[in-house]
Each structure stands twice: as structure tokens, then as C-alpha cells.
């Protein structure tokens, strides 16, 4: 027994030595990689974990007699990761409520936001709808389906207001009766709802009308594309990447409204000037993930300038998060997180230590200019976006 124990102990010691050596090798590799001038540096991308979606989604499905339902419910089913939290009441607040509405000449609430409380519930509901015969009605009016979606969303007003709302409309015909559909969609969009449309037929008039009159920008799809599930997954992940009220999501250029160009980074522009460390403290206090803005490439620097000056007030210098510690330049990060070293691809380091502002000179050139840390300048704060990796309470 003693010999066996000694052998086990020697094997354990050998294992620990190998483990520590591998850890040291990995650490040196990562440090070398971080220091490599050729290593690309970029801002944070939006989260892409479909099992951690946190949205409220209403599916509005045309079930009139001539509707093309081929693959509609398979597409809806495949949109969701089996590990997604459906309903409410989970320890992790990243959950998705799902509602279903069918319509023809009138609309039917098949399932409101309270009915489906698990992935199993969702799967059973989709299966039931997939085997439900189409209506005998020839008439189909989009406005009835959209009005029902408005009612379903408004019925839970005040709850989960920090969760984005999405309407997904499946139809093969653009018809309406009581109200212009664009009037209803304008209302939905004005309240922050994103509208996705899927044309299940091949009618070009329907395709154009859904794209131009109903869908949010970049959110009009067609079953004939052949990859609708992937398109919808990309769309809901983009929708589920946003900023807290008052913050600007980083995208480029500033005036672009392409939701797919958004980064997982948000900026805030205070209306006052402060010293460097007062500005840093202010940014850290805004959110648990707040810090002074970074400029990892020239595109981000250009965005920062445009955003800072977008109120019509010309600002020629501002504090960023670049700071010198012990002779090395670092980017500010949230409290408790390690600083990021300045990568050569981001720009040449300033020649003098201290604090830095972005400064625009009379010839139009911009440079990181060392300045006294006690000088008062405007500044920008930065934080991670609200997405599948980062839940936000407002």
C-alpha cells in the first residue's frame, strides 16, 4: 500500500510539473501574441450566443387559403437554440418571450407572451401550428395581423421595457382593408419595435411592398433565398445588441443606419469638461463596464470626432483613455479589469509620458498630444453594449 501511495504521489508531482510548464508556455505565447505588431486589434463585436437571446418576439403568420406555408414553421423552429430560455422566471434574466398570431380576414391570438414558458412549450406550439389546416377564407389583410401584434405588445407595457420587441411577419400577399399597413408599422417603429418580414411567395409586388412599407431597414427576407433561418438568426442577434438610453452605439460611418455594422460598444458624450482623472472616474461610475473611450484604429478615432461634434459645437480636443504607466502606454478599462496595452497598429505612442488628448490642429491633422492631467477638456465614455453576453438593466 505504501509503495502504491508513493507511486501515485510521484505521478501527481510529475503531472503538476507538466501542467505548470504548459501554463508557462501558454502564458508566454499569449504575451508574445499580444505584443506582436502584426496582431490585429479591433473593437468588441456584438454577442452571438443564440442560447442567451433576451427579446420579446411576436410571430404573425398569414394562414389564409392561398398562403404558401412551406417551411414556415420549420424556419421558426430552427431559429431558436434548444438551450434558449423561453418565458420568464429564470435566475438568468436573459430569456425570450414568444407570441403567435395567425390572420386572414381577421386575426387570432394563438399564444400571448404568458402562455409559452419553456422551450418544450414553444416546440409543442410550433408543432401544433404546423399541422393546423389553412383557413377557408380567401381574404388576407396585413393590417389585422399588425394591429393584433400592437395589442399583444401593448398588453404587457411597463414590463421588460429593457427587452427589445420584435414582430416577424410571414405572408405571401400584400393586402390590407381597414388601415394602411405603413401607418401601423410607423407606430411600431416609433416605439422601438423592429419589424422583420418574410415573403413566402414569389410575387415581386409583395416583395417590394414588404421591404419598402413594412420591414425595418435590412429586415426584409424571402423564403426563396434558401437560407432564411440563418438570415433571421443574424437579424435577431443584431437586434439584441444595443445601447442603454442616451448612449450611442459604435458603427461607421456615424450617419449609417445599417444595423449589421454595429459593434458591441457604446459611447456616451457628457456635456462638461473635466480633468483627466475626474473624467476617468466619471466614466467608471456610469456603469459597471464604463471607462474612458478607446481608439484601437483610425476608424474609431474618426467616429469619436464625428460623434463628439455632432451637436453642432466644434470641439478640437478631448480626453481619450490612453494613459502612461511606468513608461508604457495603456488603454483604460472598466474598474477591476486589466488595462489594454497600446498596440502599434492603433497608432504611434506619444513621445512624452503623462496624459493625452486627441487634438486637431489648424492644418486639419489630428494627433495624440501629451497634456497636463490637470487640464480641463471634454471627453467620451465607453461601455460594452447590451447583448447576449451582457444583460443590461435600465
Residue 245, CA atoms < 13 Å, CB-side half-sphere = 7
Torsion of CA 157, 160, 161, 165, to 10 degrees: -80
Parallel, antiparallel or unpaired: strands 164-171 and 55-62? parallel
Domain with CATH 3.10.100.10 in the chain: 248-384
Whether 218 has a pLDDT exceeding 70, the answer reads yes
Helices within the chain (DSSP H only): 2-35, 72-79, 119-130, 142-154, 181-190, 204-209, 228-239, 276-286, 298-308
- Identify the pLDDT of residue 210: 98
DSSP state, residue 214: I
Average pLDDT on 46-68 reads 97
- Identify the pLDDT of residue 25: 33
Q: Using the Cα atoms of residue 258, residue 85, residue 100 and residue 155 in order, give the sign of their dihedral.
A: negative
Whether 182 has a pLDDT exceeding 50, the answer reads yes
- Identify the pLDDT of residue 3: 43
| The Cα angle at residue 287 between residues 284 and 288, in degrees rounded to 5 | 80
Parallel, antiparallel or unpaired: strands 220-222 and 194-199? parallel
Q: Using the Cα atoms of residue 367, residue 368, residue 371 and residue 374 in order, give the sign of their dihedral.
A: positive
- Identify the pLDDT of residue 14: 43
Q: b vs e for 122-148, b when ≥16 Cβ sit within 10 Å of the residue's Cβ?
A: beebbeebeeeeebeeeebbbbbbbbb
pLDDT-derived band at 26 (thresholds 50, 70, 90) equals very low
Q: Using the Cα atoms of residue 97, residue 102, residue 103 and residue 109 in order, give the sign of their dihedral.
A: negative
Report the top-level CATH class of 248-384: alpha beta
pLDDT-derived band at 21 (thresholds 50, 70, 90) equals very low
pLDDT-derived band at 376 (thresholds 50, 70, 90) equals very high
In degrees rounded to 5, what are phi and psi of residue 367? -150, 155
Q: What is the pTM of this model?
A: 0.87
pLDDT-derived band at 29 (thresholds 50, 70, 90) equals very low
pLDDT-derived band at 366 (thresholds 50, 70, 90) equals confident
pLDDT digits (tens, 9 = 90+) for 277-330: 999 999 999 999 999 999 999 999 999 999 999 988 899 999 999 989 888 999
Domain with CATH 3.40.50.410 in the chain: 50-239
Which is higher by pLDDT, 241 or 18?
A: 241
Residue 328, CA atoms < 13 Å, CB-side half-sphere = 10
pLDDT-derived band at 346 (thresholds 50, 70, 90) equals confident
pLDDT digits (tens, 9 = 90+) for 66-123: 999 999 999 999 999 999 999 999 999 999 999 999 999 999 999 999 999 999 999 9
CATH number for the domain running over 50-239: 3.40.50.410
- Residue 167 near residue 196, CB atoms below 8 Å: yes
Q: What is the DSSP string of 99-133?
A: EEEEESSSEEEEE-TTT--SHHHHHHHHHHHHTSP
Amino acid at each position: 500500500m505504501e509503495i502504491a501511495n508513493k507511486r501515485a504521489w510521484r505521478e501527481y508531482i510529475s503531472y503538476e510539473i507538466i501542467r505548470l510548464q504548459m501554463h508557462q508556455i501558454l502564458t508566454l505565447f499569449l504575451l508574445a501574441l499580444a505584443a506582436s505588431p502584426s496582431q490585429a486589434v479591433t473593437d468588441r463585436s456584438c454577442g452571438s450566443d443564440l442560447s442567451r437571446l433576451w427579446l420579446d418576439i411576436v410571430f404573425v403568420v398569414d394562414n389564409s387559403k392561398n398562403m404558401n406555408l412551406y417551411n414556415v414553421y420549420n424556419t421558426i423552429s430552427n431559429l431558436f437554440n434548444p438551450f434558449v430560455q423561453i418565458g420568464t422566471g429564470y435566475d438568468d434574466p436573459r430569456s425570450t418571450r414568444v407570441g403567435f398570431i395567425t390572420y386572414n380576414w381577421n386575426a387570432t391570438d394563438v399564444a400571448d407572451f404568458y402562455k409559452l414558458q419553456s422551450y418544450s412549450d414553444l416546440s409543442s406550439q410550433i408543432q401544433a401550428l404546423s399541422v393546423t389546416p389553412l383557413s377557408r377564407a380567401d381574404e388576407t389583410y396585413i393590417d389585422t395581423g399588425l394591429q393584433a401584434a400592437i395589442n399583444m405588445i401593448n398588453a404587457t407595457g411597463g414590463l421588460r421595457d429593457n427587452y427589445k420587441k420584435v414582430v416577424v411577419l410571414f405572408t405571401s400577399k400584400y393586402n390590407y382593408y381597414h388601415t394602411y399597413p405603413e401607418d401601423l408599422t410607423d407606430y411600431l417603429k416609433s416605439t422601438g419595435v423592429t419589424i422583420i418580414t418574410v415573403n413566402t411567395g414569389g410575387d415581386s409586388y409583395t416583395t417590394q411592398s414588404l421591404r419598402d412599407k413594412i420591414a425595418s431597414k435590412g429586415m426584409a427576407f424571402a423564403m426563396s433565398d434558401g437560407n432564411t433561418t440563418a438570415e433571421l438568426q443574424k437579424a435577431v442577434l443584431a437586434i439584441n445588441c444595443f445601447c442603454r438610453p442616451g448612449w450611442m452605439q459604435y458603427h461607421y460611418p456615424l450617419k449609417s443606419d445599417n444595423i449589421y455594422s454595429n459593434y458591441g460598444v457604446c459611447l456616451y458624450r457628457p456635456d462638461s469638461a473635466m480633468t483627466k482623472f475626474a473624467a476617468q472616474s466619471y466614466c467608471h461610475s456610469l456603469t459597471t463596464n464604463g471607462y474612458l473611450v478607446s481608439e484601437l484604429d483610425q476608424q474609431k478615432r474618426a467616429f469619436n470626432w464625428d460623434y463628439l461634434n455632432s451637436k453642432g459645437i466644434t470641439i478640437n480636443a478631448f480626453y481619450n483613455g490612453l494613459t502612461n504607466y511606468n513608461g508604457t502606454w495603456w488603454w483604460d478599462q472598466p474598474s477591476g479589469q486589466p488595462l489594454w496595452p497600446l498596440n502599434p497598429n492603433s497608432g504611434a505612442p506619444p513621445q512624452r509620458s503623462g496624459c493625452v488628448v486627441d487634438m486637431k490642429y489648424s492644418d486639419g491633422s489630428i494627433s495624440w498630444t501629451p497634456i497636463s492631467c490637470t487640464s480641463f477638456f471634454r471627453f467620451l465614455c465607453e461601455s460594452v453594449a447590451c447583448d447576449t453576453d451582457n444583460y443590461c438593466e435600465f
